[in-house]
């Protein structure tokens, strides 16, 4: 039975947060899985100037980078600051980056900070805290902890900005498009992408220092600057990787780590991507079964033929994108991003069915709305999720596939997720988006191993998670030697986002008092 949420209704801001959380995990599919590293040659002794900073907390008006964020960030309960970190930890005396922070100060006597990353790479922690503010204010954690969201390098108002394409180019589809893999089919296209990202990001150094290794070291600077002897952390999806990497790098500096929608630490980048698409297919199969309960189901009365029906509906978009009421167009890539984003929460499935029904009838507006929600695009045309940063981080995180390997990966995805098995997605010859990147990746696979001396951690894993499958959550809990909360449901992200008092109570007890759930702990959405 579905648990009742703590609040009487979902606010518009919460809907924004839910959409952002879904998008954050879709970003995982666009890149490869990272691997953690030991710290670089710059030691803590080299970072005295950074560790001694005192944040200048003030209003958040200057932190917003869009009109939608400006409205959210204007809440007087929120405070913002910026923390300096080395651009390159091997050269701590060199150029500096700036990490944007937002906090909701504890309403009681503070016991420390809860640092939050909502996922991606490309998700904004400042936006997440602002969007979920009513939930934090209604819960017990914000009574004893400052709630602190951060924008990793390249995201939001953190600097340096990482830019490859403009919002207008994303609107027009003049960017690398993502289906099973990116639609990059030549070495020349890979070179063009790398050059655009280098030029738009202010040079090679800014671009190649964006990887997760540096983000983890930034987190430790943040911990120190916030005045916390040990880190208390909440990470969703890609944020689970950051949390696990931090634990592996700084086990003695961990107080509490919650990883929600955990990425499998025991799979290669390609293996994880295949498992994620298999999860999407499973949720599409569920959606098709739901649709078939209606006599006029757009996917037909037999869920077994739903993949073929989907192909019939979207195939015309391959050659002729559909026009919309606001003079924009919906391509086949847009349609699949919209459908995939809608699969992240069972509550959104009726919207997907409605959009497909309208699309077959010649109206693409509903599908465009789903596509825009995937990108966290606001009414003024600003994109809230940063795909340029996603590419930059992933290109520095993981081994790069050869054209033969990338092509084979596209074919395999078509096999495990036949809803994606269109020629435009799986029948070409593909090159990695990272093929011409101006520096080699910083880590190898596997990305998590040998974690010792770690306090109890908590992994929250939903049994029907569309893209970070439950098996990965089990593997993450085992790798960290921590607790696992199994959540029955079909959604990505459970704590605060799932409307389950059971989940929220278990996580709250852990964050507040380090009380771990029993080995067989189970909740439902």
**Residues with catalytic function:** 237, 465, 492
CA–CA–CA angle 237, 241, 244 (5° rounding): 125
Q: How far apart are CA 128 and CA 233, in angstroms?
A: 14
Q: Which residue has the tokens 């079964």?
A: 289
Query: 3-state SS of the chain: helix, strand, coil percent to 5?
Result: 45, 15, 40
Q: What's the Cα-to-Cα distance from 113 to each of 104, 157, 229, 344, rounded to whole Å? A: 10, 21, 10, 29
Strands (E), 271-408: 322-323, 329-330
Positive or negative: CA dihedral 489, 490, 492, 497: negative
- Do 262 and 468 touch, CB atoms closer than 8 A? yes
- Do 268 and 446 touch, CB atoms closer than 8 A? yes
- Do 433 and 395 touch, CB atoms closer than 8 A? yes
Please confirm whether the linkage preceding 121 is cis (ω < 30° from 0): yes
Q: How far apart are CA 420 and CA 192, in angstroms?
A: 26
Q: What is the dihedral of CA 365, 367, 370, 374, to 10 degrees?
A: -120
Q: How far apart are CA 223 and CA 85, in angstroms?
A: 12
- List the structure tokens of 136: 């934090």
Q: What's the Cα-to-Cα distance from 353 to each of 151, 172, 363, 366, rounded to whole Å? A: 34, 25, 13, 10
Q: Which residues contact 377 (CB under 8 A, 6 or more apart)?
A: 167, 170, 383, 384
């Amino acid at each position: 039975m579905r648990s009742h949420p703590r609040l009487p209704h979902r606010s518009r801001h919460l809907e924004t947060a839910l959409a952002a959380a879904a998008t954050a995990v879709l970003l995982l599919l666009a890149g490869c899985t990272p691997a953690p590293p030991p710290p670089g040659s710059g030691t803590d002794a080299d970072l005295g100037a950074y560790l001694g900073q005192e944040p200048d907390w003030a209003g958040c008006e200057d932190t917003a980078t869009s009109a939608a964020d400006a409205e959210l960030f204007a809440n007087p309960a929120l405070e913002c600051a910026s923390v300096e970190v080395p651009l390159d930890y091997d050269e701590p005396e060199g150029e500096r980056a700036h990490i944007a922070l937002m906090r909701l100060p504890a309403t009681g006597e503070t016991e420390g900070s809860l640092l939050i990353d909502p996922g991606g790479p490309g998700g904004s922690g400042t936006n997440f805290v602002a969007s979920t503010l009513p939930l934090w204010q209604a819960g017990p954690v914000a009574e004893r902890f400052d709630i602190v969201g951060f924008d990793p390098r390249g995201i939001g108002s953190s600097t340096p900005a990482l830019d490859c394409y403009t919002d207008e180019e994303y609107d027009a589809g003049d960017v690398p498009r993502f289906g099973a893999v990116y639609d990059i089919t030549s070495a020349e296209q890979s070179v063009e992408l790398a050059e655009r990202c280098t030029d738009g990001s202010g040079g090679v150094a800014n671009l190649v220092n964006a990887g997760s290794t540096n983000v983890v070291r930034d987190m430790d600077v943040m911990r120190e600057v916030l005045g916390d002897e040990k880190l208390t952390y909440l990470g969703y999806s890609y944020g689970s990787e950051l949390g696990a990497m931090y634990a592996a790098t700084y086990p003695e500096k961990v107080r509490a780590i919650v990883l929600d929608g955990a990425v499998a630490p025991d799979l290669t980048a390609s293996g994880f991507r295949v498992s994620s698409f298999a999860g999407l297919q499973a949720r599409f199969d569920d959606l098709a079964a739901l649709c078939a309960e209606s006599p006029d189901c757009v996917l037909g009365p037999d869920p077994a033929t739903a993949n073929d029906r989907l192909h019939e509906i979207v195939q015309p978009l391959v050659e002729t994108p559909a026009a919309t009421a606001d003079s924009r167009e919906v391509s086949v890539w847009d349609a699949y991003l919209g459908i995939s984003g809608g699969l992240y929460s069972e509550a959104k499935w009726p919207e997907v069915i409605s959009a497909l029904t309208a699309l077959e009838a010649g109206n693409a507006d509903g599908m465009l709305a789903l596509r825009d929600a995937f990108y966290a695009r606001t009414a003024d045309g600003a994109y809230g999720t940063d795909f340029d940063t996603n590419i930059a981080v992933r290109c520095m995180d993981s081994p790069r596939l050869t054209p033969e390997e990338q092509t084979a990966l596209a074919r395999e995805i078509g096999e495990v997720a036949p809803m994606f098995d269109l020629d435009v997605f799986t029948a070409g010859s593909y090159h990695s988006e990272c093929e011409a990147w101006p520096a080699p990746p910083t880590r190898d696979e596997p990305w998590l191993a040998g974690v010792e001396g770690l306090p109890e951690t908590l992994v929250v894993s939903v049994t029907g998670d569309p893209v970070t499958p439950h098996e990965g959550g089990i593997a993450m809990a085992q790798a960290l030697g921590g607790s696992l909360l199994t959540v029955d449901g079909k959604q990505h992200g459970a704590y605060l986002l799932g409307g389950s008092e059971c989940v929220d109570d278990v996580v709250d007890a852990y964050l507040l008092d380090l009380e771990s759930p029993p080995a067989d702990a189970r909740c439902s959405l």
